[in-house]
A and B are shown apart, each in its own frame.
Chain A
Amino acid sequence: MNLSKDVLAGTFFLIVAAITICGAVGLDIGSPEEMGPGYFPLTVGVLLAMIAVAVMFKGVKVGSAVELSLQELRGAGLIFAAVFVFAWALDHLGLPITVLVTTFVAMKAQSQASLKRIASVGLSIALFCWLTFGFALDLHIPLLPSW
């Protein structure tokens, strides 16, 4: 499917503008002299909506399609998965184990990594983090697993 970059970008911005405007309407708008919390957001939202429509319009006239390979999508997906895993695991597993798991997920983003390499890289980074963030900088990060 060929989707123009500008049409997609315009749609994205239009959705954001719609959410902004809906949110602003629910707040007190007020008058220019005494603005409520909704006045400025409403202005910005309307402005964004107008620009979004202009971007879409431009995209319909002349647009270049989005290029996205499956490999790229897999890479991106796994990196974000790694970050989510880190956020979820940290409070439960402690830093070193979390780092190990995160590295495993992240390194899967590059398909050629062997299990042995993943393990050695993961262990080194885990050790580094434990020593630097746990001891040297003392950032108050949970180190041991706890449920």
Chain B
Amino acid sequence: MDFLNNIVLGLDTAFSATNLLYCFAGVFLGTAIGVLPGLGPVPTIAMLLPITYTLDPVTAIIMLAGIYYGSQYGGSTTAILVNLPGESSSVVTCLDGHEMAKRGRAGVALAIAALGSFFAGTVATLVIAGFAPSLANFALEFGAPDYFSLVVLGLVSAVILAHGSILKAFASMLLGIILGLIGTDSISGASRYTFGVVELFDGIEFVAVAMGFFAFSEIIRNLSSPASRDIVATKIINVWPNLSDFRKSWKPVLRGTALGSLLGVLPGGGATLSSWTSYALEKRLSSHPEEFGKGAIEGVAGPEAANNAGAQTSFIPMLTLGIPSNGVMAMMVGAMMIHSIVPGPSIIEKEPALFWGLIVSMWIGNLMLIVLNMPLIGLWVKLLKVPYDIMFPFIVVVCCVGIYSIKGGVFDIYMAAIFGVFGFLFSKLECEPAPLLLGFILGPMMEENFRRALLISRGEFSIFVTSPVSCVLLLLAVTLLMVVVAPSIRRRRKEAFAEES
């Protein structure tokens, strides 16, 4: 009956008028920003984060989750209508979704995406509710060496799954750890890398890093690539899929949901990995693979379900272990820390209302996505037509106001501008910023557990292999690295990503 009690607590929290309102606002605003071409979930969350500062922590997290789903779905809408993916998981949707739109079936593609996502979201929510508490219980037993190895595994996965050069992804991750070092050392009290700047004693503000590397550099990238905006369907007439569409889609949706739920939990996994895997699977299983890329509805239904399921279940390691598995979850951890909530194994016991409320809100958020998107597609299409020269100064200003309002000072805006320059440099040099964000979030945790583990073992490094959990995690990390660095598989990986870009 524990499970039922928890769900009741969750319903109680989520159905309060304020939380419902902010969940709705989150989904709405998330979709509104997410439909803008080139803006994926990470910059969207970074941009909208300031709205949540003044809210109660539970409400804030519920709203942020809503923003996340909204931006994810908004990205799919843009992918289908304009063939401009906001982020890599929507690239898959472009392949067949945009082809469908060209054939006058934009409405059907959008509807199947929404319905598939809703189904996947519902299942994934149940997976979280069932799975997260036991994982958290297991993790409660973790000692310092186990945590250190868990962080290593998380970082290694993030590096491996980044696009392009693994070496540069590694360097980017280490740079993130170094940025996380700046400030006062929590154990000795010595100030590190502050160069005498008083504002740096508390460390670098997470939002400044996220805005600089994601929002600002994204704006510049969009400025320099004049977006050809041939919106295919100005009027979407037929929204409802017919019976044959449903018959073709239900199996891909089921498979996508299962795949996504599984892959989302893995470190480094999440929406992008899920949707790509699902697309490849559907193409292989299809009796008419030649139709893929030419408007096959299975190619929209499967990946859309998978990316939503993956987006959902990637909350599991973030909430229960405190280890974000991708850039978006790193944003969520950063956001939670601003509200002084530290995700980790004890969060379910310490903040049951937050945890279960969030889970029920995930489902409500998915429901709102359908309610919002089916009738409001016309509005999103209009938003897509707003000229970019109006949009980008607006985004710049909103970001600046957001950074200012964290501490009520302009120092962090200067920092964000500097990180923006680095972000621009990164995109020119083809370095991925996502591992950097993860390194920044996980670095302090890594150092703390590293120091504690070696204090316990009296300086013996063998503690990382004599503790069974730590040993397994480290072995996993090493295996992952070996697999990717091995030449034959590296070639295949290259092929897989070549399709993407």
Contacts and interface: CB of A to CB of B under 8 A. Distances in A.
Contacts of B447: 40
Contact of B167 (A33, A41, A54, A95): A54
B178 A48 contact: yes
B51 A137 contact: yes
Interface string A108-147: 0110010001000110010011000100011111000000
Contacts of B380: none
Counting contact residues on chain A (CB < 8 A from B), the size range is 35 or more
B420 A51 contact: no
A49 B451 CA distance: 22
B428 A68 contact: yes
Interface residues of B, number: 61
A133 B390 CA distance: 19
A91 B408 CA distance: 10
A45 B190 CA distance: 18
Contacts of B245: none
Contact of A27 (B50, B192, B393): B192
A71 B224 CA distance: 8
If over half of A's interface residues share one DSSP class (helix, strand or loop), that class is named, otherwise mixed; here it is: helix
B396 interface: yes
Contacts of B458: 33
B187 interface: yes
Contacts of A23: 192-193
Contacts of A87: 400, 410, 413-414, 417
Contact of A41 (B181, B405, B459): B181
A60 interface: no
B455 to A, nearest CB: 7
Q: Which of B53, B190, B223 has the most CB of A within 10 A?
A: B223
Contacts of A67: 428
Contacts of B178: 16, 20, 41, 44-45, 48
B188 interface: yes
B431 interface: yes
A10 B389 CA distance: 35
Contacts of B400: 83, 86-87, 90, 102
A55 B167 contact: yes
Interface stretch (B68-76, B89-97, B168-176): B168-176
A33 B450 CA distance: 10
Interface string B166-209: 01101100110110010001011010110000000000000000
Given A44-B181, A76-B424, A102-B397, A86 B413 contact: yes
A36 B51 contact: no
Nearest to B211: A83
Nearest to A23: B193
Interface in A73-92: 75-76, 79-80, 82-84, 86-88, 90-91
Given A12-B429, A80-B417, A86-B413, A117 B389 contact: yes
Contacts of B424: 76, 80
Contacts of A31: 459
B250 interface: no
A100 to B, nearest CB: 10
A140 B177 CA distance: 33
Contacts of A13: 171, 174-175
B416 interface: yes
B175 A48 contact: yes
28 contacts: A6-B165, A9-B430, A16-B175, A16-B178, A20-B178, A20-B181, A27-B190, A27-B192, A32-B454, A35-B450, A35-B455, A37-B187, A48-B178, A54-B167, A55-B167, A66-B428, A72-B224, A75-B223, A80-B216, A83-B216, A83-B399, A86-B400, A91-B410, A103-B397, A110-B388, A121-B389, A137-B54, A139-B50
Given A106-B392, A125-B393, 15 more contacts: A20-B181, A28-B190, A35-B454, A40-B447, A41-B178, A41-B181, A44-B181, A72-B220, A79-B220, A82-B393, A83-B417, A83-B420, A86-B400, A88-B410, A102-B393
Interface of B: 50-51, 53-54, 165, 167-168, 170-171, 174-175, 177-178, 181, 185, 187-188, 190, 192-193, 216, 219-220, 223-224, 388-390, 392-394, 396-401, 404-405, 408, 410, 413-414, 416-417, 420-421, 424-425, 428-431, 447, 450-451, 454-455, 458-459, 461
